[in-house]
Amino acid sequence: MRTLVAIAAGGALGSVARYLGGAAVHLWLPRTFPWGTLAVNVLGCAAIGVLWVWLAGRGPAGESLRALLIIGLLGGFTTFSSFSLETLLLFEQHSWLRAGGYVLASLALCLAGCWAGVQLARHFSG
């Protein structure tokens, strides 16, 4: 139960940070390109790399912090960070085909899922 509370708390903070971070970027850059989302994704990817190394080998305390910071905070901030870490780990394991397949499948299936959701919503909204 503690783990779920840590994930929920981190997720709430991460979601708010994503909104505020994206909005802050657009104070300086135009909304003609999703600069805010890009900035949040890059920052989240850098953060997950730092946290992954920092939490490695910390035992049970590391697992609790991992739930709070990586799954919760960064999960709420950007799931692109998880995708990037998982892809990097596949590359580090020399699983080139799996890594490439994961990247291609993620891009194709997520775009297709988004398109399908938009089509479905448009169909039912009249």
Taking residues 86-110, report their average pLDDT.
94
DSSP H helical segments within 26-79, as ranges? 35-55, 59-65, 75-77
Q: How confident is the model at residue 79 (pLDDT cuts 50, 70, 90)?
A: confident
Q: Could you give the percent of the chain with pLDDT greater than 70?
A: 100
Q: Given this model, what pLDDT does residue 109 score? A: 92
Give the whole-angstrom CA distance, residue 48 versus residue 56: 12
SS percent in the chain: helix, strand, coil, step 5: 85, 0, 15
Q: Please check the confidence at residue 126 and state whether its pLDDT lies above 80.
A: no
- Is the pLDDT higher at 69 or at 61? 69
pLDDT at position 110: 87
The pTM assigned to this predicted structure is 0.78
Domain ranges of the chain: 2-77
